[in-house]
Amino acid sequence: VRLIDSNIVTKYIIRDVETDFILEDIAIEIASQDILVSKIGRFKKKRTSEPISIILIDEIGKTNRSEIKIGRVIFRVSRFIENLKVCFKCLKFGHTQIRCNKDKRCSKCVGTHNHEYTGPIKCFHCNEPHDALDKNCTIFIREQEIINLVRNHDISFAEARKRVATGQSFAAVARNTSTSKPVVSSGVQDQLSDLLLVIKSLQDQITNLDPQISNLREVNKKILDRCIQTQEHLDHQIVENKNLQALIDSQNKAIESLTNRLTVLESNYGFRSSDSPDLGLFNQSLDELNNFSSAIPVDTGPGIG
């Protein structure tokens, strides 16, 4: 997505940006941080052209940025240094023929003619007898070394050109970087020694804590086993309670059924409830009852004979 045309830009790579992020939304998010971006694009696989999680942005101007926020995530960014560009039109470095507005030159004689040249070959860059597009040209190799220095040592192009001009090629700088030893002052060495002693003390403390940690793990295991057993007992008790409740419900239904049947029988046979007799009627003594019974005439019927 091209936003603004600009020739002076700093290219940055943003990695791990999911492919479902829309480039236009990313451009709006970056612009909200007062970052002027002229172009934004996503890298694709060479064979399938499938988008990958790497984004390239062109920020206007010469900047030195280490991170960019997209949404709620802060992404680390790194400068993108392109390979050496050679213009097939004017034969100069640093751009391509698409953006070149100069006359076309012949790569064999540096002329501006349109016919096929068959004379002696002369390089446009070094005046040596080879094609100007030959990658073995000493000027081409020098420019490629400058790009490698900028890319691998995070320095400016001006500094890289200075190092190459003084004979500090990429290979030499890389060799010096890998073999040189940093100089450490005695004060820093004392601080490092103190830090090592502190680290050693902490390691000893951690070693002494190991048995206690093992004991705590054993105790926690036992507690967990007890909790599991208690939970199993509770589950069993819940099942028993459910069974007992089911039995109670069944007995209640049986009682209710019997009550209904008794009600039906009473209605069919005319049963009714009666009051209990008054116990005060039977307060007489046994002698009184005997006298009462003898005073009552008894009809014995006709006699015999």
The pLDDT of residue 176 is 53
Percent of the chain with pLDDT over 90: 14
Higher pLDDT, 199 or 194: 199
Token pair of 104, please? Answer: 């076309």
What is the average per-residue pLDDT within 66-74? 88
Of 106, 70, 76, nearest in space to 88 by CA:
106
* Residues 200, 195: Cα–Cα separation, whole Å: 9
What is the average per-residue pLDDT within 114-124? 86
Per DSSP, 136 falls in state T
pLDDT at residue 249 is higher than 80: yes
**Residues 8-20 pLDDT 10s:** 778 899 999 988 8
**pTM, two decimal places:** 0.42
> Starting at the edge strand that comes first in sequence, how are the strands of the sheet with 9-15 ordered?
37-44, 51-60, 9-15, 73-79, 67-70
Higher pLDDT, 301 or 146: 146
* Residue 255 binned pLDDT confidence (cut-offs 50, 70, 90): very high
107 neighbors 116 (Cβ within 8 angstroms): no
Q: Per-residue DSSP letters for 88-118?
A: TTT--BSS-GGG--SPP--TTT-----SPP-
**Residues 139-166 pLDDT 10s:** 999 888 888 888 777 777 788 888 888 7
Task: Kindly list the domain boundaries of the chain, sorted by start residue.
Answer: 9-79, 97-173, 207-251
**Residues 212-233 pLDDT 10s:** 888 888 888 899 889 999 999 9
* Residues 241, 232: Cα–Cα separation, whole Å: 14
**Average per-residue pLDDT for the chain:** 80
pLDDT at residue 48 is higher than 70: yes
pLDDT at residue 173 is higher than 60: no
**CA 20 distance to own-chain centroid:** 15
Other beta carbons within 10 angstroms of residue 162's beta carbon come to 14
Give the highest mean pLDDT range of 64-68, 112-116, 163-167, 179-183. 64-68
Rounded (5°) CA angle 160-162-168 = 75
Rounded (5°) CA angle 109-114-117 = 40
Q: Is 44 helix (H, G, I), strand (E, B) or coil?
A: strand
Domain 9-79 indexed as CATH 3.30.920.30: no
Q: Return the half-sphere exposure (C-beta side, CA atoms, 13 A cut-off) of residue 224.
A: 6
The pLDDT of residue 42 is 92
Q: Rounded to whole angstroms, what are the CA distances from 293 to 163, 281, 282, 296, 297?
A: 153, 16, 14, 6, 9
Q: Rounded to whole angstroms, what are the CA distances from 229 to 132, 160, 224, 237, 238?
A: 86, 74, 9, 12, 14
The pLDDT of residue 304 is 46
Query: Look-up: residue for tokens 């941080």?
Result: 33
Other beta carbons within 10 angstroms of residue 221's beta carbon come to 10
44 neighbors 28 (Cβ within 8 angstroms): no
The pLDDT of residue 280 is 54
What is the average per-residue pLDDT within 28-38? 88
Of 23, 16, 1, nearest in space to 73 by CA:
16
Longest Cα–Cα distance of the chain, Å, equals 190
The pLDDT of residue 62 is 81
pLDDT at residue 73 is higher than 70: yes
Query: Look-up: residue for tokens 């597009």?
Result: 133
What is the average per-residue pLDDT within 187-192? 72
Rounded (5°) CA angle 39-40-42 = 145
pLDDT at residue 277 is higher than 80: no
